[in-house]
Amino acid sequence: MSYILLFFSAMAAQWLWSSQFAFWGLAPQLLLVLTALVAAYRGPILAMCLGFFWGLFLDVSSPHLFGANALALTMVGYGTGSVRRQIDVTGAGSLSAVVFLMTWAYFLLLGVLGLVFMEGFLWIGWPSFLACPFYNVILVWVVAVAPPFIFLGKSRN
Amino acid sequence: MQREARIANYFLAVFGIISLTLLSLPLSGPVRVFKACLVYLSDPAAYRGAKGVEKIADVPDRIRGLLAADIENRLMREEVKEASWARAEAQALKAENERLRAVLGLKASPGYTSIWARVLERDPLHWYHSFMVDAGQKDGLALNAPVLGKGAEGLSVIGRVVEVRPRSSLVLLVTDELSSVAAHLSSSTVEGLAQGQGGARLIMNYLSEDASLTLGDLAYTSATSATFPPGILIGRVARVFPRDPFLTFQSVEISPALDSGRLSEVLILKRQGSP
């Protein structure tokens, strides 16, 4: 039940933030951050499921490719889950580093999918490419003390 | 952990296949309409800017028309906001100009009001010579009224009214052999006379021998023009003729800023005080 609540409230928060409170057109990617957080604390399977459907939501609400965000967020969940098996990613520092790198990986994957399925590389622009990873890292620190984090739990299973 | 990794691989394969299938399949019309409308309702910013309409290129016609009209409407509202400021600024400058002219004892320049008119017909035999417009004496037009067109670079010279009828007028184009406009080039203050040749281009003669002329220079109407207000764009220098030792001036070829053959509406200036 709590995951369903997380699923819908995260979508609402992402939409609200990106459409109403974007700062110079830049907004943190809450869904990406949450996918990485879920993967870090609850494992890749749940993260991939949530990431895939969050991605579909982003695809529906984006004028670009349909399916690109779903694949990219699934990969974020999978990637973070794979890293989790090697190192402890529940620490704030390591989690920030993972989210930072996953953000760039996410952008590059979207770009490559654009290259394959559209006419050219789907480039989000330098401001987003450079600023969003930092924005997301800040969000990691904010979300880590927010209610969704509480039910995710701090213990690794 | 191994079991989790194995299941994760299965999930990755399943979600990957579904995503790639979604990416590969062309979306049906209703799905595209739904997606475009949802995006537009949730975040219209995605469609703002010059490339906004391109993003809905694959949406069926009627919905695309609606969305494109709304995008255009938003862009025009922004333009109107900017224009209202520019207008206020222009009015302030005009008032200041008039005050300074009065202080210096200069004759006040004639003010203009404008009227838009539609191009009624063109004579195929005189394509670069003239066309008829649907405004005439009843709209307050007089002989020699300047006729301008609006293009990407703003207003530019098209011609002048040479025949006024009750509800229509004949416009003689600047490209006609009988047309000539006093003009100056953007890179210098040298004046010349832009003369129609009966073709698509004009020749600007009587430019000073010492003037350095460059391709791409813009030609504007001069303050000494009897017909046109100063500073209206005529065209761009398309060719600089080599200096002729037997002539005391230089010449350039001007490519008009607007192709009169493409115009459907023109702006005609009326001197203030005329009905």
Q: Encoding tokens for residue B152?
A: 């990407």
Residues of chain A neighbouring B24 (CB-CB closer than 8 A): 117
- Please check whether residue B46 touches A, CB under 8 A: yes
Q: Do B42 and A15 lie within an 8 Å CB cutoff?
A: yes
From the CB of residue A48, how many other CB atoms can be counted at a distance below 10 Å?
30
As a whole number of angstroms, the distance between CA A93 and CA A104 comes to 17
Residue among B1, B35, B43 whose CB faces A18 most closely: B43
Asked if A26 and A136 count as a contact pair (C-beta separation under 8 A), the reply is no
| Per-window interface: A 125-154 vs B, CB < 8 A | none
Asked if B23 and A117 count as a contact pair (C-beta separation under 8 A), the reply is yes
- Please check whether residue B22 touches A, CB under 8 A: yes
Residue among B4, B19, B39 whose CB faces A67 most closely: B19
Best of B15, B34, B51 to disrupt the A interface (most A CBs within 10 Å) is: B15
Q: Per-residue pLDDT tens for B55-65?
A: 666 666 777 77
The pLDDT value given to residue B211: 83
Q: Do A71 and B43 lie within an 8 Å CB cutoff?
A: no
Phi, psi at A146, each rounded to 5°:
-90, 160
Asked if B118 and B267 count as a contact pair (C-beta separation under 8 A), the reply is no
From the CB of residue B52, how many other CB atoms can be counted at a distance below 10 Å?
20
Give the distance from CA B38 to its chain's centroid: 34
| A32-36, A110-114, B67-71, B157-161: least confidently modelled range | B67-71
- State the pTM of this model: 0.51
| Per-window interface: A 95-124 vs B, CB < 8 A | 113, 116-117
As a whole number of angstroms, the distance between CA B95 and CA B81 comes to 22
Of the pLDDT bands very low, low, confident and very high (cuts 50, 70, 90), residue A157 is very low
The pLDDT value given to residue B202: 93
The pLDDT value given to residue B51: 59
Which of B176, B180, B184 lies closest to B260, judged by CA?
A: B176
Of the pLDDT bands very low, low, confident and very high (cuts 50, 70, 90), residue A156 is very low
The pLDDT value given to residue A155: 46
Residue type (1 letter), A79: G
The pLDDT value given to residue A145: 61
Q: Encoding tokens for residue B149?
A: 């067109």
Best of A78, A109, A116 to disrupt the B interface (most B CBs within 10 Å) is: A78
For the CA atoms of A141, A147, A151, A152, the dihedral, rounded to the nearest 10 degrees, stands at -20
Asked if B270 and B253 count as a contact pair (C-beta separation under 8 A), the reply is no
Residue with tokens 């969003």: A132
- Please check whether residue A48 touches B, CB under 8 A: yes
Q: Do A71 and B16 lie within an 8 Å CB cutoff?
A: yes
Q: Do B45 and A15 lie within an 8 Å CB cutoff?
A: no
The pLDDT value given to residue B221: 92
Residue among B11, B19, B45 whose CB faces A45 most closely: B11
CA angle A126, B32, A48 (to 5 degrees): 60
From the CB of residue A118, how many other CB atoms can be counted at a distance below 10 Å?
13
| B28-37, B74-83, B134-143, B148-157: least confidently modelled range | B28-37
Q: Per-residue pLDDT tens for B118-140?
A: 998 887 777 778 899 999 988 88
pLDDT at B43 over 50: yes
Residues of chain A neighbouring B52 (CB-CB closer than 8 A): none
Asked if B148 and B174 count as a contact pair (C-beta separation under 8 A), the reply is no
- Helix locations, chain B, DSSP H: 2-24, 29-42, 61-104
Mean pLDDT, range B218-234, rounded to an integer: 90
Mean pLDDT, range B131-153, rounded to an integer: 89
| Per-window interface: B 113-132 vs A, CB < 8 A | none
Q: Per-residue pLDDT tens for A14-63?
A: 888 877 776 666 778 889 999 999 998 888 999 999 999 999 888 887 76
Q: Encoding tokens for residue B68?
A: 């494109």
pLDDT at B39 over 50: yes
